[in-house]
């Protein structure tokens, strides 16, 4: 949406309050709708809604959810990152290589995350210093990171020894009191932390200001360049963490994994109410967006529908979600 | 004169009677009368906001009038869109250049009217037709094959004019066509306009510069507050008559009583500041407790001067010091804010406010230190502090958390002012602080400015609205084409002398504005 087209004359605080609730509740309603539809369609609603299936869906959501946390911060700031799929592969391979080299699992995990952060920092530098628009800078990085992943892995999957790092994405974890996969807890913690960061810190306010009006942000004395470096680096760290989760799920480092995942991540943010023109979005919304897509995938699988049907449905949902968001926003034109 | 008799026999080419237009509560046009004849250049003169651009927008079909009648070539004329205006024979040359930079000169000139042969583009005929139009200008570097991106600004202006001519118009509207031209190109343009005029085309010419109007115009109409106040033949009036007609309005009585406490302590001193094409060698001192005004017409460089002082545009030379401490010319706004300077943009939506953010966030954006600790925001404290600042300037908002986009224009401006209060600055740079706000809000803004100065701050205010400068300033300087005059006490100025200095007109034989670039 284009903020400058909003007529300042329309002052309807009550309607705006209603719209704000709709904006927050909208993705929730979407999620309930998706779950409801599949419960009805499915011959066996109990199976779709079973605790076991919910655990599977949540475990499947972890990678996209972690990526969506980083992407939400980037998109709120008015940016975009197309590299997460490649970064997930690269950091997964780095983490696997570290494990194979007998590094302690925690160190291997940190190595994977650090690689993601470094890639993000480089994206930030090319955006601020080389003045390449984010779309192009990260499109370039999509190729570079994927190539690096293939190079350092010798274009082969990297097998890893059995450590606790392999059980991050197990839907039925061994200490059964965990209830859901450890990765789900990690993603939830990261999401809560990011939501607080965006809502309650000066950094978060600056991110929103940057996306809402970059010129005004600069005039208010915000170091917009430095801020972008932080934003893309934090995003990169989270994509790196998603990569470690991906490796844990596959139990090997695979340089060809997660092709196109960046689009799922962006879709999750957009379904959750994020605006590609910046200044708008929420972690909670993005998490629900990620779950909507996971439930869709899972539902289609349970129904036995082929892959291409899933792709068509998810594609349609993305457009519908954004169209619904436009309807909820007053005074905007396409 | 011989042509006046033929003119009397012919009906006017364009006849505008009592045209009105309002936007919300603002009356942009409130009864405009205008007659333009074939083969004449008709100048429309008026201050900023007098309604000149609105009138041209109505004639070119971009907006519709609320009332009044327009006749063009003897027929009723009420175009529903710019295309219809063009088809009826009215061409509008905009102030801003609107060409497609990646296309060639010929493609731009014939955009939308490309010569075709069986559906295919006839490239040769296109270049040939564009060449014929370009020939009128006799500009050696300008060929139909040039890419517009490679052209200079004046050359682009010529292409823009050629595009208007390609439609064979009988009336051409020109809105400040010389604003981006050098003197030599202006002469070429004038020669060209005279050729057009002699071929029987009517021309409406808008300019701020009286000497230009005298050089090219035949008749004139003065607009003030959306009304026609004077019209006739240029040779029958003096510059002084025109200026009186443009200003001619009593100063409103709602300015706060002057209780000046200005000292001789300079808080902001600017020496020889130059920035880009807009600001040349500007020097001034802003004293503690005073309100210093800078007057200038649109495009005179006032806004650019403030931006350079605040570090938003890179200055090319000169010095800026606050409280005796020199600031890095390329330091950026954060160094200015740290030094106690605050800036209010003339473009509230474009670069002032973050519209999708809340009132509280917008107010605290320049200074989160008041309500944060170690990067954590104390939301309750933020609401409380920003509410105090918002109340001080009477922001009417349902809550501090409502996005600014849902407030009215006047309230948005108050939020922008509240930000400066919250920032705690001592030196206020205000660019058009009352633009787009209603009369009641204006009064409160004047009172705020006066009280800021009284409490020992310093205020620099740029405005194109003369009455407010006379109402609130202690001293005034005038900017004309990038040059700033020395600041003088407000009593030494009259609206007429300010306008003379701003226009660069030479009424009494002495130019007040100093050097004018050649």
* HEC secondary structure over chain A: CCHHHCCCCCCCHHHHHHHHHHHHHHHHHHHHHHHHHHHHHCCCHHHHCCHHHHHHHHHHHHHHHHHHHHHHHHHHCCCCCCCHHHHHHHHHHHHHHHHHCCCCHHHHHHHHHHHHHHHHHHHHHHHHCCCCCHHHHHHHHHHHHHHHHHHHCCCCCEECCCCHHHHCCCCCCCCHHHCCCHHHHHHHHHHHHHHHHHHHEHHHHHHHHHHHCHHHHHHCCCCHHHHHHHHHHHHHHHHHHHHHHHHHHHCEECCCCCCCHHHHHHHHHHHCCCCCCCCCCCHHHHHHHHHHHHHHHHHHHHHCCCHHHHHHHHHHHHHHHHHHHHHHCCCCCC
Which residues does B34 contact at the CB level (< 8 Å), separation at least 6?
B14, B15, B16, B42, B44, B55, B221, B228, B231
Q: Is residue A139 part of a domain?
A: yes
Q: Are B41 and B218 in contact (CB under 8 A)?
A: yes
Q: Which residues in chain A have their CB less than 8 angstroms from residue B419's CB? A: 220
pLDDT score for B54: 87
Task: Show Cβ contacts of residue A254 under 8 Å, excluding neighbours closer than 6 positions.
Answer: A89, A92, A93, A157, A158, A247
Q: Do B399 and A11 touch (CB under 8 A)?
A: no
Assess if residue A218 is contained within a domain. Answer: yes
Q: Does A13 touch chain B (CB under 8 A)?
A: yes
* Residues of chain B neighbouring A8 (CB-CB closer than 8 A): 349, 405, 407-409, 412
Whether residue A209 and residue B361 make contact (CB cut-off 8 A), yes or no, is yes
Structure tokens at B440: 């009641």
Q: Is A174 on the interface with B (CB under 8 A)?
A: no
Q: Which of B332, B354, B355 sits opposite A217 (nearest CB)?
A: B354
State the nearest Cα–Cα gap between A305 and chain B, in angstroms. 41
* Whether the predicted pLDDT of A247 surpasses 90: yes
Q: Is A52 part of a structural domain of the chain?
A: no
Domains identified in chain A, total number: 1
Could you tell me which chain B residue has the CA closest to the CA of A278?
B356
In chain B, which residues have their Cβ closer than 8 Å to the Cβ of A215?
350-351
Do B355 and A219 make contact, defined as CB atoms within 8 angstroms? no
d(CA B182, CA B188): 10
* Segments of chain B with pLDDT less than 70: 1-9, 24-26, 48-49, 96, 179-183, 248-254, 257-262, 436, 438-440, 505-518
Tell me the ipTM for this assembly: 0.81
Pairing of strands B227-233, B219-224: antiparallel
Whole-number pLDDT of residue B510:
39
A333 within a domain of the structure (yes/no): no
**What is the distance in angstroms between the CA of the first residue and the CA of the last residue of chain B?**
34
Cα distance between residue A284 and residue A146, in whole Å: 30
With CA atoms as reference, the chain B residue closest to A196 would be B376
Nearest C-alpha of chain B: how many angstroms from A161? 42
CA-based nearest residue to B169, from B193, B206, B126, B201: B201
In whole angstroms, give the CA distance from residue A25 to residue A32.
11
Kindly give the pairing relationship between strand B202-206 and strand B116-117.
unpaired
Contact criterion met (CB < 8 Å) for A9 and B24 = yes
User: Between B356 and A329, where is the model more confident?
Assistant: B356
Distance from CA of B482 to the nearest CA of A (A): 23
A176-213: pLDDT as tens digits: 777 888 999 999 999 999 999 999 999 999 999 999 99
Whether A306 contacts chain B with CB within 8 A:
no
Chain A environment of B416 (Cβ under 8 Å)? none
Is the CB of B310 less than 8 angstroms away from the CB of A219? yes
pLDDT in tens, A94-145: 999 999 999 999 999 999 999 999 999 999 999 999 999 999 999 999 999 9
Is the residue at A297 inside a domain? no
Among the partner-chain residues A213, A220, A223, the one whose CB lies closest to the CB of B355 is: A213
pLDDT at A328: 60
Interface mutation target, options A221, A224, A226, A282, chain B, most CBs of B under 10 Å:
A221
Tokens of B426: 């001592």
pTM score > 0.90 for this model?
no
pLDDT at B296: 84
Q: Which of B338, B405, B409 is most worth mutating to test chain A (most A CB atoms within 10 A of its CB)?
A: B405
- What residues have CB less than 8 Å from A127, skipping those under 6 apart? A79, A133, A134, A137, A228, A232
| Burial class of residue B323 in the structure, from the number of CB atoms within 10 Å of its CB (0-12 exposed, 13-18 middle, 19+ buried) | middle
Mark yes or no for CB contact B408/A202 under 8 Å. Answer: no
Contacts of A11 in chain B (CB under 8 A): 406-408, 411
CA quadruple B405, B409, B414, B417: dihedral, nearest 10: 90
Chain B residues with at least one Cβ partner in A under 8 Å:
24, 310, 312, 332-334, 336-338, 343, 345, 349-357, 361, 364-366, 368, 372, 375-377, 379, 398-399, 402-403, 405-409, 411-412, 419
Burial class (CB in 10 A: 0-12, 13-18, 19+), B139: middle
Among B361, B364, B408, the residue with its CB nearest the CB of A9 is: B408
Which residue is it, tokens 């001293």? B475
Main-chain dihedrals φ then ψ at residue A56, nearest 5 degrees: -65, -45
Q: Tell me the mean pLDDT in the region A288-314.
A: 88
CB atoms closer than 10 angstroms to residue A312: 12
Residue of chain B nearest A14, judged by CA positions = B398
Class of the CATH-defined domain B269-340+429-509: alpha beta
- Residue A125's domain comprises 63-286
A268 falls within a domain: yes
CB pair distance less than 8 Å for A8 and B407? yes
- Partner B, chain A 177-196, Cβ-Cβ below 8 Å: none
Q: Which of A6, A14, A198, A212 to mutate to test the interface with B (most CBs of B within 10 A)?
A: A212
CB pair distance less than 8 Å for B365 and A205: yes
Question: Is residue A173 situated within a structural domain?
Answer: yes
- B333 to chain A: which residues are within 8 Å by CB? 218-221
User: Mean of the per-residue pLDDT values for chain A?
Assistant: 87
d(CA A202, nearest CA chain B) in Å: 5
Q: Nearest-CA distance from B347 to chain A in Å?
A: 10
Contact B24 A219 (CB under 8 A): no
A101 has a chain B CB within 8 A of its CB: no
CA angle B243, B248, B251 (to 5 degrees): 130
Interface size between A and B, measured as CB pairs under 8 A: 106
End-to-end CA distance of chain A: 7
Q: Note the CATH number of domain B1-89+170-249.
A: 3.40.50.300
d(CA B297, CA A160): 72
Residue contact A13–B402, C-beta within 8 A: yes
Nearest to A10 among B361, B379, B406 (CB): B406
Q: Which positions in chain A touch B351 (Cβ < 8 Å)? A: 213, 215-216, 219
DSSP string, B215-274: HH-SEEEEEETTEEEEEEEGGGS-HHHHHHHHH-SPPPS-SPPP-----S-EEEEEEEEE
Q: Give the contacts of A119 (CB within 8 A, at least 6 positions apart).
A: A83, A87, A90, A141, A145, A236, A239, A240
- The pLDDT of residue B250 is 47
Of residues B110 and A269, more confidence is placed in A269
Residues of A in contact with B334 (CB under 8 A): 221-223
Q: Is A223 on the interface with B (CB under 8 A)?
A: yes
Chain-centroid distance of CA A146 in Å reads: 18
Q: Does A5 touch chain B (CB under 8 A)?
A: no
Of A201, A220, A223, which is closest to B375 when you measure between CB atoms?
A: A201
Taking residues A240-265, report their average pLDDT: 94
A98 found inside a domain? yes
- Judged by CB atoms closer than 8 Å, whether chains meet at A221 and B333 is answered as yes
State the residue for tokens 């470690």: A244
Closest by Cα among B256, B272, B310 to B427: B310
Residue A334 pLDDT class (50, 70, 90 cuts): very low
Per-residue pLDDT tens for B42-95? 999 887 667 888 899 899 998 899 999 999 998 999 998 888 888 899 998 877
């Amino acid at each position: 949406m284009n903020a400058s087209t909003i007529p300042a004359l329309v002052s309807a605080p009550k309607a705006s309050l209603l719209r704000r609730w709709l904006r927050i509740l909208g993705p929730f309603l979407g999620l309930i709708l998706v779950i409801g539809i599949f419960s009805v369609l499915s011959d066996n609603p109990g199976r779709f809604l079973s605790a076991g299936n919910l655990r599977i869906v949540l475990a499947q959501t972890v990678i996209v959810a972690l990526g969506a946390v980083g992407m939400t911060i980037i998109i709120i700031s008015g940016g975009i990152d197309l590299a997460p799929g490649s970064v997930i592969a690269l950091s997964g391979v780095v983490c696997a290589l570290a494990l194979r080299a007998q590094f302690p699992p925690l160190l291997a995990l940190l190595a994977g995350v650090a690689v993601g952060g470094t890639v993000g920092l480089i994206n930030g530098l090319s955006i601020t210093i080389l003045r390449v628009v984010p779309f192009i800078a990260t499109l370039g990085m999509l190729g570079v990171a994927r190539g690096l992943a293939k190079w350092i892995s010798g274009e082969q999957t990297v097998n890893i020894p059995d450590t606790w790092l392999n059980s991050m994405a197990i839907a039925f974890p061994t200490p059964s009191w965990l209830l859901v996969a450890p990765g789900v807890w990690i993603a939830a913690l990261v999401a809560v932390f990011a939501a607080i960061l965006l809502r309650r810190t000066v950094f978060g306010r600056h991110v929103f200001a940057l996306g809402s009006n970059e010129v005004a942000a600069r005039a208010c004395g915000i170091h917009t360049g430095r801020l972008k470096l932080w934003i893309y680096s934090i995003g990169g760290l989270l994509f790196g963490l998603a990569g470690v989760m991906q490796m844990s799920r596959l139990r090997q480092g695979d340089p060809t994994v997660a092709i196109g995942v960046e689009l799922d991540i962006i879709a999750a943010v957009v379904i959750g109410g994020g605006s590609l023109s910046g200044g708008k979005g929420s972690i909670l919304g993005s998490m629900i967006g990620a779950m909507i897509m996971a439930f869709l995938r899972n539902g289609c699988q349970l129904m036995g529908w082929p892959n291409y049907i899933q792709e068509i449905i998810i594609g349609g949902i993305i457009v519908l979600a954004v169209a619904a968001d436009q309807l909820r926003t007053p005074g905007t034109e396409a | 004169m011989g042509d006046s008799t033929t003119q009397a026999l012919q009906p006017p080419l364009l006849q505008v009677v009592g045209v009105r237009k309002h936007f919300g509560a603002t009356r942009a046009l409130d009864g405009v009368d205008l007659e333009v004849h074939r083969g004449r250049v008709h100048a429309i003169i008026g201050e900023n906001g007098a309604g000149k651009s609105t009138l041209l927008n109505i004639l070119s079909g971009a907006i519709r009038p609320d009332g009044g009648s327009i006749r063009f070539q003897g027929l009723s004329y009420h175009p529903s869109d710019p295309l219809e205006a063009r088809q009826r024979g009215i061409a509008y040359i905009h102030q801003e250049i609107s060409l497609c930079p990646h296309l060639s000169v010929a493609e731009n000139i014939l955009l939308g009217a490309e010569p075709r042969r069986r559906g295919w583009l006839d490239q040769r005929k296109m270049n040939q037709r564009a060449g014929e139009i370009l020939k009128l200008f006799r500009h050696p570097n300008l060929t139909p094959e040039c890419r517009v991106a490679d052209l200079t600004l004046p050359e682009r202006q010529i292409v823009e004019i050629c595009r208007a001519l390609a439609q064979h118009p009988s009336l051409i509207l020109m809105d400040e066509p010389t604003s981006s031209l050098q003197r030599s190109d202006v002469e070429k343009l004038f020669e060209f306009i005279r050729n057009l005029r002699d071929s029987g085309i009517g021309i409406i010419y808008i300019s701020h510069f009286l000497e230009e109007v005298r050089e090219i115009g035949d008749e004139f109409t003065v607009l003030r507050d959306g009304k026609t106040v004077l019209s006739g033949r240029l040779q029958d009036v003096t510059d002084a008559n025109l200026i009186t007609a443009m200003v001619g309005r009593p100063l409103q009585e709602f300015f706060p009583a002057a209780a000046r406490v200005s000292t001789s302590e300079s808080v902001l001193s600017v020496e020889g500041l130059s920035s880009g094409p807009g600001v040349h060698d500007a020097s001034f001192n802003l004293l503690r407790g005073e309100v210093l005004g800078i007057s200038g017409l649109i495009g005179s460089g006032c806004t650019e001067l403030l931006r350079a002082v605040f570090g938003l545009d890179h200055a090319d030379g000169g010095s800026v010091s606050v409280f005796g401490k020199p600031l890095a010319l390329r330091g950026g706004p954060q160094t200015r804010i740290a030094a106690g300077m605050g800036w209010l943009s003339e473009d509230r939506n474009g670069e002032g406010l973050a519209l999708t953010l809340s009132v509280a966030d917008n107010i605290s954006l320049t200074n989160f230190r008041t309500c944060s600790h170690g990067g954590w925001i104390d939301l309750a404290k933020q609401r409380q502090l920003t509410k105090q600042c918002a109340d001080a300037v009477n922001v009417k908002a349902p809550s501090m958390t409502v996005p600014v986009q849902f407030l009215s224009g006047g309230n948005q401006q108050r939020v922008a002012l509240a930000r400066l209060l919250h920032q705690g600055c001592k030196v206020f740079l205000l660019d058009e602080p009352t633009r787009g706000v209603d009369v009641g809000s204006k009064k409160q803004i004047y009172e705020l400015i006066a009280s800021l100065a009284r409490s020992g701050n310093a205020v620099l205010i740029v405005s194109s609205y003369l009455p407010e400068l006379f109402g609130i300033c202690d001293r005034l300087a005038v900017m004309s084409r990038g040059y700033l005059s020395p600041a003088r006490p407000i009593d030494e100025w009259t609206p007429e002398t300010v306008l003379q200095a701003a226009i660069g007109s030479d009424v009494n034989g002495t130019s007040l504005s100093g050097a004018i670039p050649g």
